[in-house]
Homo-oligomer: A and B are copies of this chain.
Amino acid sequence: MHNADKNRLNDEKKYVVIVDRLQKRGVTQLDIAEITLGLQTKYLPFLSIDVCLDHVKRVLMKREVQNAILTGLELDILAEQGKLSEPLSTIILSDYGLYGIDEILALSIVNVYGSIGSTNFGFVDKTKPGIIGRLDDKTDGKKTCNTFLDDIVGAIAAAAASSIAHKYADVDSKPETF
């Protein structure tokens, strides 16, 4: 087998691992696609959720995106399990606003789609639509740490929105759903 193909296969395998892990943390690809649709529907009124889902999947197939997700989720879980040393443990468990490394990983995801991804991410990070707001809601009493997860979900949604924007650039009004 050609090595480059083997490698692409690895990306596919990591994709399966990541989708599974996001689901265990309470996030489906559809949850993310809905945020993407909310971001782009203003510019592309005929955009369908299926196209958004397709672009979310494309984003999740990118190697650097996968590595950022695996690293961020691992830190959330290790924080929950009390396996991080201080002062990092307290910083991550409290989702300290000036920690910044959660945003750094998120920006590494959106940067793959150029600078317009950053704007979408910033908006989502402030307005917390859909699943992001639910992840961020700490009132449920559960001992869940989503410090990285909420930024990662926002970044995937923003990256998928940018991927769509790049593909359907200059489309003003299209009669058929795409």
Listed in ascending order, the chain A residues whose CB lies under 8 Å from chain B are 3-4, 6-7, 14, 17, 43, 63-64, 67-68, 70-71, 74-75, 77-78, 83-85, 87-88, 91, 97-101, 103-105, 107-108, 111-112, 114-116, 118-127, 165-171, 174
**Chain B residues with CB under 8 A of A107:** 115, 118
Known: A77-B85, A97-B169. 7 other contacts (CB 8 A): A4-B171, A6-B170, A64-B98, A101-B105, A103-B115, A118-B121, A122-B124
User: Chain A binding site: helix, strand, loop or mixed by DSSP?
Assistant: helix
**Do B170 and A99 touch across chains, with their CB atoms under 8 A apart?**
no
For A3, the closest partner residue in chain B by CB is: B171
**Chain B residues with CB under 8 A of A14:** 87
**Chain B residues with CB under 8 A of A167:** 4
Query: Closest Cβ of chain B: how far from A77's Cβ, in Å?
Result: 8
Measured CA separation A83–B107 after assembly (Å): 26
**Chain B residues with CB under 8 A of A64:** 98, 100, 114-115
**Chain B residues with CB under 8 A of A169:** 3-4, 7, 63, 97-98
**Do B104 and A115 touch across chains, with their CB atoms under 8 A apart?**
yes
Centre residue among A63, A101, A120 by max chain B CB count within 10 A: A101
Measured CA separation A122–B105 after assembly (Å): 16
